[in-house]
Chains A and B, each alone.
Chain A
Amino acid sequence: MDSVEHYQAFFKTGEGQLFPWLEALRAPARERFVAQGFPNPLEEGWRYTPLRSLERVRFTPAEAMSGVPSEPVDLELLKEAYSVVFVDGHYVAAASCLEGLPEEVQLKPLSLALRTPGEDLQGLFEDTAAAASCHRLEDFNTALFSDGLCLDIQPNYRLEKPIVVLHLTQQAQGLNTLQHRLRLAKGAQAHLIEVFIGPNDHPSLTTSMTYAVMDENASLRHVRLQREGKASHHFSGLRLKLKRSARYQGHLASLGALWSRTEIHAQLGSSAECELEGLLLASGRQHQDVETRLDHGGTHASSRQNFRGIANERGRGVFTGRIVVDPGAEKTDAGMSIRNLLLSGDAEIDAKPQLEIHADDVKCSHGVTVGQLDEEAVFTLQSRGIGEQEARHMLTFAFANELIERIDHEGARASVRDAFKATLPGSDLGSEL
């Protein structure tokens, strides 16, 4: 059985009667995936990120579990927040906390919403829908998603407490497929913190797509920490529509998984602001891919991208950052910086910035660097009594920490910092750098 046949058996069918709009979304995605399978390395966008290792394993969706997860859900983060916990791709009510949500905020797992009659799910899906699917991994997700987060915030409501979404993987060879839909009405505000965690000893595949629309002046802060297990595969995509003066601030830390790809696509309306920061760490034989595409469609919109990659041992990093300025999108201000650190001769990072500018009066800049640790700094630390290895760890951490420091939520910042320290090979660093 080839991999397409294997996954076909799990396709969601039979929803047509109750949810014809959902079937209308899934059917074409299913067809594309069945016809062509997973993206192959000959296709644009997948040349540096082959899916061979992903196709080699036959992942199987887990049954929804009952009760609470056996792994301890450690996160400090879950306190002082609304929390949504998915285990093996299924919402676990017993581990989540949605108490005290104001009526202006609709926050529900998709699995529950689909069982509640009268929910305006169709409107939420239609409003947040992307113009087209970008590739067959996205189709794969659409054909299979079984749960996710539905968030809908009324105009001008500012949700102060963050929403923490925890994705936990337990089952060996498990397949977790989630799709999230977020709609922030005019002037609404939210703060979303997503964490992906899994065990190191067996493979799993998580695909998580988020479709979001942010109306005029809406604002979303979004932290994503990917610390999946060392044998796992991870794909997550964000498709974002920013209307006039809407503001999105995203922090990504992609540290875990054997194979990981994160995509962030945003369409910017007039005066919209999009800030993306991201850190990736590829050690051992890890493959970390980050792809961004920002479409400046309106005037006076601004975007800032600041990414840092660290590759160690035989790790591999791939960055593709594309900025498109549409005709008429005058006064666009777009900046992208990608800085990389190679810690071993076998490590590799490929960074590809792409600018496509169709307007005249715009400010666009990009910079890419790939380098090693500053030997002057290593010697300075040694000359103060710090051993060479420790000095190198300290400087590597410092390189990452400059981005981590910019996460404004204390709990999220601490989680990312701890995860980074735990992932950095051989490190034994103190706490307060």
Chain B
Amino acid sequence: MLSIQNLEAKADEQAILKGISLDIKPGEVHAIMGPNGSGKSTLSNSLAGREGYQVTHGSVTYEGKDLLAMKPEERAREGIFLAFQYPVEIPGVSNIYLLKAALNAIRKHHGQTEVDAMDFLQLVKAKIKSLSLDEQFLYRGVNEGFSGGEKKRNEILQMAILEPRLCILDETDSGLDIDALKIVADGVNALRSPTRSFIMVTHYQRLLDYIKPDVVHVLAQGRIVKSGGPELALELEARGYGWIDPSLNH
């Protein structure tokens, strides 16, 4: 589904990623762990096409297409979804409007007609309930005045409605208490399928107790320094990142 070859990227003119290679197959969940400053967010943002992140070397092939040649909206329409670490507030644009506009933009891209208003409302109401969010939430401005937990649940709601093929979760667990973490994890687990893949970027092992990864990668100083099964995350939790790279012990 996704093949990253020797990716090098800059953020704000500073070299952050120094040659990353990664292969993700349909249905797989990959966790990317690493200390602060290791390049986790640069990787997520480069994949989503955010301005300010400049790929200087390497290639990213998504479903046989050159991902890096696509605009952010094209990547989204092709099925890539980035759940933000810090979702922004968009006052004046209601949640329901954003969901509908986004879904229709994706449907249009695939030659489908606009979603029926009634069907759409039913779909959204069902999803919102499973994320323990109030219905009123739909008519409020996107993330406007939401708590940290609500913002993260809102990202999962968008993901559930848009049904992407590749979900990138950027530190989705940060700022969540244990109850909110469970709700978010349940939301993600409900979306797991043999055709949908996940990249979970996280600092802590905690999230992986609830969403079981197939592969764990450790990112340090812009490179993947170790890859392994779920047990790698547990070992990291127990021994710290310094166990992999003594220079990280500080």
Instruction: Report A's interface with B, CB cutoff 8 A.
Output: 374-377, 379-388, 390-391, 394-395, 397-402, 405, 430, 432-433
Query: Could you tell me the distance between the alpha carbons of A387 and B73 in the complex, rounded to whole angstroms?
Result: 6
| B50 contacts the other chain (CB 8 A) | yes
Task: State the 4 A-B residue pairs at the shortest beta-carbon distance, nearest first.
Answer: A398-B92, A384-B102, A385-B76, A382-B72
Whole-angstrom distance between the Cβ of A43 and the nearest chain B Cβ: 38
B residues less than 8 Å from A399 (CB atoms): 92
Is B92's CB under 8 angstroms from A401's CB?
Answer: yes
Is B71's CB under 8 angstroms from A377's CB?
Answer: no
| B67 contacts the other chain (CB 8 A) | no
Is A433's CB under 8 angstroms from B92's CB?
Answer: yes
Whole-angstrom distance between the Cβ of A65 and the nearest chain B Cβ: 41
Closest to A405 in B: B92
Instruction: Report B's interface with A, CB cutoff 8 A.
Output: 48-51, 71-73, 75-77, 81-82, 84, 87-88, 90-94, 96-98, 100-103, 105-106, 109, 141-142, 158, 162
Is B162's CB under 8 angstroms from A385's CB?
Answer: yes
Subset of 19 A-B contacts with CB under 8 Å: A377-B90, A380-B87, A380-B142, A381-B98, A382-B72, A383-B82, A384-B98, A384-B105, A384-B162, A385-B109, A386-B102, A386-B105, A388-B71, A394-B101, A395-B90, A402-B91, A402-B92, A430-B100, A432-B96
A residues less than 8 Å from B90 (CB atoms): 374, 377, 380-381, 395, 398
Query: Could you tell me the distance between the alpha carbons of A375 and B51 in the complex, rounded to whole angstroms?
Result: 9
Closest to B159 in A: A384
Is A386's CB under 8 angstroms from B51's CB?
Answer: no
Whole-angstrom distance between the Cβ of A106 and the nearest chain B Cβ: 41
Is A382's CB under 8 angstroms from B71's CB?
Answer: yes
Quick one: which of A382, A391, A432 has the most chain B CB within 10 A?
Answer: A382
Whole-angstrom distance between the Cβ of A1 and the nearest chain B Cβ: 50
Is B88's CB under 8 angstroms from A383's CB?
Answer: no
Query: Could you tell me the distance between the alpha carbons of A324 and B98 in the complex, rounded to whole angstroms?
Result: 43
Query: Could you tell me the distance between the alpha carbons of A387 and B90 in the complex, rounded to whole angstroms?
Result: 16
Query: Could you tell me the distance between the alpha carbons of A394 and B73 in the complex, rounded to whole angstroms?
Result: 15
Is A398's CB under 8 angstroms from B91's CB?
Answer: yes
On whether A387 and B105 interact (CB within 8 A), knowing A380-B90, A402-B91, the answer reads yes
Query: Could you tell me the distance between the alpha carbons of A377 and B141 in the complex, rounded to whole angstroms?
Result: 12
Is A432's CB under 8 angstroms from B97's CB?
Answer: yes
Closest to B76 in A: A385
B residues less than 8 Å from A384 (CB atoms): 76, 81, 98, 101-102, 105, 158, 162
Query: Could you tell me the distance between the alpha carbons of A380 and B87 in the complex, rounded to whole angstroms?
Result: 8
Is A433's CB under 8 angstroms from B88's CB?
Answer: no
A residues less than 8 Å from B48 (CB atoms): 383
On whether A385 and B105 interact (CB within 8 A), knowing A380-B87, A399-B92, the answer reads yes
Residue in A382, A383, A385, A394 whose CB lies within 8 Å of B93: A394
Is B73's CB under 8 angstroms from A382's CB?
Answer: yes
Is A380's CB under 8 angstroms from B76's CB?
Answer: no
Whole-angstrom distance between the Cβ of A253 and the nearest chain B Cβ: 15
Query: Could you tell me the distance between the alpha carbons of A402 and B145 in the complex, rounded to whole angstroms?
Result: 14
Closest to A430 in B: B101
Query: Could you tell me the distance between the alpha carbons of A405 and B141 in the complex, rounded to whole angstroms?
Result: 12
Is B76's CB under 8 angstroms from A433's CB?
Answer: no
Query: Could you tell me the distance between the alpha carbons of A388 and B92 in the complex, rounded to whole angstroms?
Result: 18
Query: Could you tell me the distance between the alpha carbons of A432 and B158 in the complex, rounded to whole angstroms?
Result: 18
Is A385's CB under 8 angstroms from B88's CB?
Answer: no
A residues less than 8 Å from B158 (CB atoms): 384
| Extra inter-chain contacts (14) besides given A382-B73, A384-B162, CB under 8 Å | A376-B88, A381-B98, A382-B71, A383-B50, A383-B72, A383-B82, A384-B98, A385-B77, A385-B102, A385-B103, A385-B109, A387-B73, A395-B93, A430-B97
Is A386's CB under 8 angstroms from B88's CB?
Answer: no
Quick one: which of B71, B88, B93 has the most chain A CB within 10 A?
Answer: B93
B residues less than 8 Å from A433 (CB atoms): 92-94, 97
Whole-angstrom distance between the Cβ of B152 and the nearest chain A Cβ: 14
Query: Could you tell me the distance between the alpha carbons of A390 and B243 in the complex, rounded to whole angstroms?
Result: 48
Query: Could you tell me the distance between the alpha carbons of A395 and B87 in the complex, rounded to whole angstroms?
Result: 16
Query: Could you tell me the distance between the alpha carbons of A391 and B73 in the complex, rounded to whole angstroms?
Result: 10
Whole-angstrom distance between the Cβ of A410 and the nearest chain B Cβ: 16
Whole-angstrom distance between the Cβ of B52 and the nearest chain A Cβ: 9
B residues less than 8 Å from A390 (CB atoms): 101, 105
Whole-angstrom distance between the Cβ of A309 and the nearest chain B Cβ: 15
Whole-angstrom distance between the Cβ of A421 and the nearest chain B Cβ: 13
Query: Could you tell me the distance between the alpha carbons of A390 and B158 in the complex, rounded to whole angstroms?
Result: 19
Whole-angstrom distance between the Cβ of A141 and the nearest chain B Cβ: 36
Closest to A402 in B: B92
Whole-angstrom distance between the Cβ of B196 and the nearest chain A Cβ: 17
Query: Could you tell me the distance between the alpha carbons of A381 and B99 in the complex, rounded to whole angstroms?
Result: 10
Query: Could you tell me the distance between the alpha carbons of A395 and B103 in the complex, rounded to whole angstroms?
Result: 18
Is B97's CB under 8 angstroms from A388's CB?
Answer: no
B residues less than 8 Å from A386 (CB atoms): 73, 101-102, 105
Is B92's CB under 8 angstroms from A379's CB?
Answer: no
Is B105's CB under 8 angstroms from A383's CB?
Answer: no
Closest to B107 in A: A385
Closest to A388 in B: B73
Query: Could you tell me the distance between the alpha carbons of A382 and B72 in the complex, rounded to whole angstroms?
Result: 6
Closest to B87 in A: A380
Is A377's CB under 8 angstroms from B88's CB?
Answer: yes
Closest to B48 in A: A383
Query: Could you tell me the distance between the alpha carbons of A374 and B76 in the complex, rounded to whole angstroms?
Result: 20
Closest to B84 in A: A380
Query: Could you tell me the distance between the alpha carbons of A15 and B87 in the complex, rounded to whole angstroms?
Result: 67
Closest to A375 in B: B51
Quick one: which of A384, A395, A398, A433 has the most chain B CB within 10 A?
Answer: A384
